């Protein structure tokens, strides 16, 4: 663990002015966006446009950003709607309403992926974003926490948007949600030779940690996005812990990463700031290829916050 300590010898500063005059939105303040029936009708029409490849016909159902995401998703692996006539969840909170879990298939050569897709509506009844749902296990982990229903869905919505940003290569979005002074740490597995007493050589795994600036991290992502036809990121085994500040959360989870040229599994930690519901931020991101010797992964208690 000494290598990790070397790259974290700095405090994580969270700007308090971000929410000086703003309070988190509460579910009790909910004002209806669009009825579940109307939302279902819109999503069904959008799904039909994917089947018919007539995307332009539903442009008026989206915001500008939402339509751009829709086009990217529709062309992501030759998207195919598997089943619309099933039960769906319609979740409505103060600052978002989401029609959840439309089953879709995405094909990249021999690679076939099945994903549940969520459609989020704004206050004008337009689809403002689309996201791949987290795994059932990851969603269950979040919904079983002690937080309010609003906080649970706020965390879930953010994590699904973050996950989807990699799949749809939304570099601008990722740039917008990382604070300028974000602490970003990436672990690499190094194999070193170890000579035993009997002169036999064995390979030992060591993890080396590197600290990246936000710019360095985004440049790496940009190259990865350019060099891969597809990227698929999924999260599982989610653990959420309250930070020192209200509506600031530490999230630990396992990450599965698959792409055209590379795949891996590892453990991710994010310190997310949801004090401003409209402008979520990530202040810390760590990724490690394996758990620590004691079976833990890095989390909110490993950092000093100011």
Contact (CB, 8 A) for 132 and 256? no
What stretches of the chain show up as alpha helix (H) in DSSP?
2-7, 36-52, 64-74, 136-143, 149-167, 171-177, 214-227
Highest mean pLDDT: which of 1-10, 90-99, 130-139?
130-139
Classify burial at 30, counting beta carbons within 10 Å of its beta carbon; exposed 0-12, middle 13-18, buried 19 or more: middle
- Mean of pLDDT values over 86-104: 85
In tens, the pLDDT along 276-291 reads 988 999 999 999 988 8
- Please, which pLDDT band fits residue 156 given cuts at 50, 70 and 90? very high
- Please tell me the distance from the alpha carbon of residue 17 to that of residue 179, in angstroms, as a whole number: 14
Residues 199-221: pLDDT tens digits? Answer: 544 444 566 778 999 999 999 99
pLDDT at 278: 87
CA 98, 103, 106, 111: dihedral to nearest 10 degrees? 130
Q: In whole angstroms, give the CA distance from residue 282 to residue 152.
A: 17
Is 2-302 a CATH 2.60.40.10 domain?
no
Phi, psi of 198 (to 5 degrees): -90, 15
DSSP state of 61: G
In the numeric block, which tokens belong to residue 111? 């690679």
pLDDT-derived band at 96, boundaries 50, 70, 90: confident
Longest dimension (CA), the chain: 74
Predicted TM-score (pTM) of the model is 0.84
CA dist 124 and 219 (Å) reads 36
More confident residue, 14 or 277: 277
CA 172 to chain centroid, in Å, comes to 14
Residues 6+ positions from 228 with CB-CB distance below 8 Å: 259, 260, 261, 262
Residue 260's closest CA among 295, 301, 225? 225
- At 190 the pLDDT is 54
CA–CA gap between residue 133 and residue 122 (Å, rounded): 18
Q: Are 101 and 85 in contact (CB under 8 A)?
A: no
Query: Where exactly are the structural domains of the chain?
Result: 2-302
- Contacts of 256 by beta carbon, 8 Å cutoff, 6+ apart: 233, 234, 235, 236, 263, 265
């Amino acid at each position: 663990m000494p290598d990790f300590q070397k790259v974290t010898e700095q405090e994580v500063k969270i700007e308090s002015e971000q929410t000086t005059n703003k309070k988190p939105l509460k579910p009790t303040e909910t004002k209806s966006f669009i009825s579940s029936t109307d939302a279902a009708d819109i999503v069904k029409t959008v799904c039909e446009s994917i089947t018919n490849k007539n995307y332009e016909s539903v442009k008026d159902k989206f915001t500008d950003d939402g339509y751009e995401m829709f086009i990217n998703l529709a062309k992501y692996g030759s998207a195919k709607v598997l089943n619309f006539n099933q039960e769906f969840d319609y979740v409505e909170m103060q600052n978002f309403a989401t029609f959840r879990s439309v089953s879709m298939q995405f094909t990249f050569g021999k690679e076939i992926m099945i994903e549940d897709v969520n459609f989020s509506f704004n206050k004008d009844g337009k689809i403002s974003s689309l996201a791949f749902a987290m795994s059932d296990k990851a969603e269950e982990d979040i919904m079983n926490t002690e937080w309010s229903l609003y906080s649970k869905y706020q965390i879930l919505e953010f994590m699904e948007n973050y996950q989807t940003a990699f799949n749809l290569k939304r570099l601008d979005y990722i740039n917008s949600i990382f604070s300028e002074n974000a602490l970003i740490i990436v672990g690499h597995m190094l194999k070193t030779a170890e000579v035993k007493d009997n002169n036999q050589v064995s390979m030992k795994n060591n993890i080396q940690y590197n600290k990246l600036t936000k710019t360095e991290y985004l440049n790496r992502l940009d190259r990865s996005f350019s060099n891969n036809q597809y990227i698929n990121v999924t999260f599982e085994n989610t653990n959420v812990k309250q930070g020192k500040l209200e509506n600031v959360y530490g999230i630990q989870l396992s990450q599965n990463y698959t792409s055209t040229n590379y795949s891996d599994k590892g453990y991710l930690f994010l310190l997310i700031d949801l004090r401003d519901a409209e402008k979520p931020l990530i202040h810390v991101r760590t990724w490690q290829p394996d758990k620590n010797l004691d079976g833990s992964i890095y989390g909110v208690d490993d950092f000093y916050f100011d």
